[in-house]
Amino acid sequence: MKKFVSITMAIGLVTVLGVVANQVVADDHSLAGATVSPGIGPGVGSSYPDAQESLFRGDMIAESGLGCSNSAGTSGGPNDWAVGVTASLTPPMGIIQTTYNVFTQNGAVTQMAFKAWTAAGGPGATFASQALTAAQYAVGTHTVAISPFIPLTNQAFFFGFNQPQTAAGMRLGLDTSSGGSGFSYLLAPGCGLVSWGTVTSIGFNGDWVMRVLVDDTVPVELQMFSVE
């Protein structure tokens, strides 16, 4: 496990990209996780029939976990994880499901949400959020329906998760065997990432093990605001 002193060196690379390093924290937070043997997962760009598309980076196999957390999982947050994708479907469409891996957390986490951001050279403005239940952020791989669906007006966007508590820390699954695409981002002030930085820019090659299913058959009338 790489300790904060190693991460401080990596943050110097991130600063070039506009991420400012924070002060060293006292309770030995680290951004590295344990390692497990790979399993079997879908390939990049796999798709579903009936005007649905599965969007993800890497191979969806979590060899390790990454996030800001102390060893007990009782501090380190907030953490935000985001990955950028581009659909081949065209709007109108919507996010109807997500799959992701929670690699470690020791029960201190009591809040977590699925989020979506605009694409602006990285994660931009948040345009959707859905709170998860405790069972949905337990350790393991989860597939969760996004209900109501999240309308998309652009093919390119970021999606991921937010863990807002300072008195908790966790790590989400990271695919390291496929290399890094440069589209997986982390925001973790407790470990020095006070602005979004890529996983690769802080020395961890890989992509988040997270996926969304988008559908272009969502009702058009539900995607517009109107006033009478």
If we measure between CA atoms, which residue out of 228, 183, 179, 176 comes closest to residue 65?
176
Q: Note whether residue 205 is domain-resident.
A: yes
pLDDT for res 53: 97
Angstrom distances, CA of residue 63 to CA of 17, 162, 202: 27, 21, 18
Number of domains in the chain: 1
pLDDT of amino acid 49: 45
Q: How much of the chain exceeds pLDDT 70, in percent?
A: 73
Q: Is residue 227 part of a domain?
A: no
SS3 call for 102: strand
Residue type, 31: L
In a domain, 90, yes or no: yes
Q: Identify the domain containing residue 213 by its residue range.
A: 4-36+48-219
Any idea what the CATH number is for the domain that residue 126 is in?
2.60.120
224 assigned to some structural domain: no
State the maximum Cα–Cα separation within the chain, in Å, rounded to a whole number.
59
> Which pLDDT value is given to residue 217?
85
User: Which residues in the chain come in under a pLDDT of 50?
Assistant: 1-28, 30-49, 221-226
Per-residue model confidence as pLDDT tens digits over 174-218: 999 999 999 999 999 999 999 999 999 999 999 999 999 999 986
- Domain presence at residue 41: no
- In whole angstroms, what is the distance from residue 155 CA to residue 137 CA? 28
Nearest alpha-carbon partner for 96 in 136, 133, 48, 61 = 48
In sequence order, which ranges of 2-154 are alpha helices (DSSP H)? 4-15
Q: Other CB atoms closer than 10 Å to residue 119's CB: what's the count?
A: 16
Taking CA atoms, 19 is separated from 78, 90, 152, 186, in Å, by 16, 33, 28, 11
Give first-to-last CA distance, the chain, whole Å.
58
User: Strand runs (DSSP E) across 123-209, as ranges?
Assistant: 123-131, 140-152, 156-163, 171-175, 184-188, 193-198, 207-208
Residue 43 located in a structural domain: no
Q: Which of 193, 224, 200 is nearest to 58 (CA)?
A: 200
Q: Where are the beta strands (DSSP E) in the chain?
A: 47-48, 52-56, 64-66, 79-86, 93-104, 113-119, 123-131, 140-152, 156-163, 171-175, 184-188, 193-198, 207-208, 210-215
Is 196 part of a structural domain of the chain?
A: yes
Tell me if 226 is assigned to some domain. Answer: no
Predicted local confidence at residue 13, as pLDDT: 25
Residues 76, 17, 130: CA angle, nearest 5 degrees: 50
